[in-house]
Amino acid sequence: MSLHDHSPQAIVVGAGIVGLAMARALALKGHRVTIIDRSPTQEGASLRNFGMDWLIGQPMGPVYERAVRGRTIWKEVCEATSTWYDPVGSLQLAYRKEEADVLAEFHEQERHLRPLRLMNASTVTELSGAVKTDGLLSALHNAEDLLIDPREAIPNLTRWLQEKLSVTKIFGKTVVEARDGALVFSDGGVMETDNIFICPGADLRTLFPEVYTDDITLCKLQMMRMAAQPDGWRIGPALCGGLSLIHYASFAGTTSMEALKKLYTTSYPEYLHWGIHVMVSQNGKGEIAVGDSHEYDRDPSPFNQERIDRLILDYLSGFARFRDETIIERWHGIYAKMTNGEMSTFKTVSPGVHILNGLGGAGMTLSFALAEDITARL
């Protein structure tokens, strides 16, 4: 019997980015890890996002520090798996005085803490030929944001966990019960282990539904993809219109934010109703992801609304233009989000059975470091 046979065992239920991050952290701590997902292939919210490692959206403090560590891990994983990534950063764009005031104040507050550059209409073209400069008052470049294609990165990460960290993968098998030291499957099978980590994403009903109170809800977002741009044309950094400023907690501490919210209440009431803020990113193939909306409901509609897509594209046309704007895909994703202001929830529901959920739209950014912190505590 090898020494490895005496290592603690752990099972992770859920193969989205949160589950994969937990599997990685546990394996690095010496656990023999099995990751289980009820779907034959990975198809959830982790594959349906922009693919942004999004540090600009995280407020200073422990959350931002986790994002910084997560960025380092993403780069290591991408390089180890030959996965495309682009450290091109992001551009927040301001066409209204109130937007420019928020950017200027944020830059002044945090320019010594983040790699920020405040730019004008003439200098922003150094970074992106997609930005419309007519009426542009200012732009804020954050150099540390990282672009990743989730449709490539998530499967590659899964294979890397199997090949390099000896993680066992079991897909297409549904867990219906988790109890002390054992999982029960829909076919009646049982698997015993030392620790169980349930990372269910949008599935709040199958396992421990009583744990999910009003502190957590679901968020449905609509997104689109434009065709690969001709001749290898790149848009540069991820681009964000002013509406993104009121979506991310990092900008909330600016005194200028109150005036901006007041402006949007008058100018964009329908956008606020559907939680629309518009941003774009480009993957390694040259395709452009466009989105998104935020509909909060414990039971979101399965149907996309053409009206929401039209609002997104109309707003996008005000700050960016592309060489080929053909829409080749439309989809929606659903993720779990905390309603109490917390960035996630971690609960031990019985000895050796733990639930991690509620990272909202920051799963790609925060999961790696959060998983390391949790395993360190355990």
Average pLDDT over residues 79-90: 97
Amino acid code (one letter) for 140: L
Q: What is the CATH number of domain 90-143+216-338?
A: 3.30.9.10
214: pLDDT confidence band, cut at 50, 70 and 90?
A: confident
Residue 311 predicted with pLDDT over 60: yes
Average pLDDT over residues 142-150: 96
Average pLDDT over residues 319-343: 95
Cβ atoms of 289 and 309 within 8 Å: the answer is: no
Average of per-residue pLDDT values in the chain? 94
> How many whole angstroms separate alpha carbon 152 and alpha carbon 150?
5
pLDDT of residue 1: 33
Composition of the chain by helix, strand, coil, percent to 5: 35, 25, 40
Helix (H) or strand (E) holding 34: strand 32-37
Per-range mean pLDDT, top range of 177-186, 197-206, 282-291, 339-348: 282-291
Q: 310 to each of 34, 170, 263, 291, how far by Cα in Å? A: 43, 40, 22, 11
Q: What is the pLDDT of residues 362-378, one digit of tens each?
A: 999 999 999 999 999 88
Average pLDDT over residues 110-121: 97
Residue 180 predicted with pLDDT over 90: no
Query: Which segments within 38-145 are labelled E, that is strand?
Result: 52-53, 85-86, 90-94, 116-119, 138-142
Q: 292 to each of 136, 253, 266, 372, how far by Cα in Å? A: 22, 23, 20, 30
With CA atoms as reference, report the closest residue to 74 among 376, 367, 358: 367
Residue 2 predicted with pLDDT over 60: no
Fold of 3-46+152-213+342-377: FAD/NAD(P)-binding domain (3.50.50)
Q: 141 to each of 127, 128, 137, 238, how far by Cα in Å? A: 9, 11, 14, 10
pLDDT of residue 43: 84
Cβ atoms of 18 and 357 within 8 Å: the answer is: yes
> How many whole angstroms separate alpha carbon 325 and alpha carbon 309?
14
Instruction: Indicate where the chain has its CATH 3.30.9.10 domain(s).
Output: 90-143+216-338
What pTM did the predictor assign?
0.94
pLDDT of residue 40: 87
Instruction: Indicate where the chain has its CATH 3.50.50.60 domain(s).
Output: 3-46+152-213+342-377
260: pLDDT confidence band, cut at 50, 70 and 90?
A: very high
> How many whole angstroms separate alpha carbon 180 and alpha carbon 16?
24
pLDDT of residue 127: 96
**87 token code pair:** 């450290």
Q: What is the CB-side half-sphere exposure of residue 370 using CA atoms within 13 A? A: 23
Residue 11 predicted with pLDDT over 80: yes
**258 token code pair:** 């109150």
3: pLDDT confidence band, cut at 50, 70 and 90?
A: very low
DSSP, res 286: S
DSSP-derived secondary structure for 141-201: EETT-EEE-HHHHHHHHHHHHHHHH--EEEES--EEEEETTEEEETTS-EEE-SEEEE--T
Cβ atoms of 334 and 219 within 8 Å: the answer is: yes
> How many whole angstroms separate alpha carbon 249 and alpha carbon 234?
29
Q: 322 to each of 227, 263, 281, 319, how far by Cα in Å? A: 10, 28, 12, 11
Q: In what order do the strands lie in the sheet with 182-185?
A: 175-179, 182-185, 190-192
Share of the chain above pLDDT 70, in %: 99
Q: What is the pLDDT of residues 32-48, one digit of tens each?
A: 999 999 998 888 888 88
